Amino acid sequence: MDKFTTLTGVAAPLPLANVDTDKIIPARFLKTIKRSGLGVHLFDTLRYDAAGKERPEFVLNQEPYRHAEILIAHENFGCGSSREHAPWALLDFGIRCIIAPDFADIFYNNSFKNGILPIRLPRAVCDALIEDAKLGGNARLTVDLERQVVVRPNGEEIHFDIDPFRKHLLLNGLDDIGQTLQHAPAIDAYEARRRAAEPWLPSTTEAA
């Protein structure tokens, strides 16, 4: 996983609530056995018409937002399925940070696992940032994870909250599995304890 420290880039305004995972990446594109290559299908139905032609009115089909690295949206971003194809598609397109009033739990979690920083900020702040974003290429936002601030084009700094453990993993680009495996002895001990306390729990290798 790539580290996330600071990011300065074009932010795309997407003032929609309940952007669901089917909107981010429709199910018909989930038939891949890879993580990469999904960026071209990001927001497929919003981005392309039935003939596969770009819809010029959609923000990511416009300059400079084709190169956006930050996305700003409204409430409940990423609701719906657990498909990690959603953050994979965003990442493959080039998005490393999403700012919204709130996120669906599974999507929020999946983002961190892929080096994408989801930032929760109040709706009014999101709307102000959306106005900044509408100014295009001359109005880049900076996201500084270490200091936990979003810097507006006018220099104003907006603080955001983040779980310290997630921040640590993201800043250092650490792999969760590697972290957890450091607890292997505790997992061994736990399993032994459970086997003793709940010997009735059958295995899936053979029917009881």
Q: Could you list the residues that contact other proteins (CB under 8 A)?
A: 15-18, 20, 22-23, 26-28, 30-35, 45, 50, 74-76, 79-84, 87, 102-106, 109-110, 113-114, 163-165, 176-177, 179-181, 183-184, 186-187, 190-191, 194, 198-205, 207-208
Phi/psi at 80 (nearest 5 deg)? 110, -130
CB atoms closer than 10 angstroms to residue 163: 10
Collect contacts of 24-30 with beta carbons under 8 A, ≥24 apart: 24/78, 24/86, 24/89, 24/90, 25/83, 25/85, 25/86, 25/88, 25/89, 27/81, 29/85, 29/89, 30/83, 30/85
Smaller CB separation from other proteins, 65 or 112? 112
Q: Measured from the CB of residue 200, what is the shortest distance to other proteins in angstroms?
A: 4
Identify which of residues 67 and 189 has a Cβ nearer to other proteins in the complex.
189
Distance of closest approach, residue 39 Cβ to other proteins, in angstroms? 16
Q: Which is nearer to other proteins, 10 or 133 (CB)?
A: 133
**Is the CB of residue 89 less than 8 Å from the CB of residue 96?**
no
Specify the length of the chain in residues: 208
Q: How far is the CB of 173 from other proteins (least distance, A)?
A: 14
Nearer to other proteins, 155 or 164 (CB): 164
Q: What is the closest distance, in whole angstroms, from the C-beta atom of residue 89 to other proteins in the complex?
A: 13
As measured in angstroms, the least distance from the Cβ of 148 to other proteins is 15
Distant-in-sequence, close-in-space partners of 135: CB < 8 Å, separation ≥ 6: 153
Residue number, 17 or 139, with CB nearest to other proteins: 17
What is the CA 194 to chain-centroid distance, rounded? Answer: 35
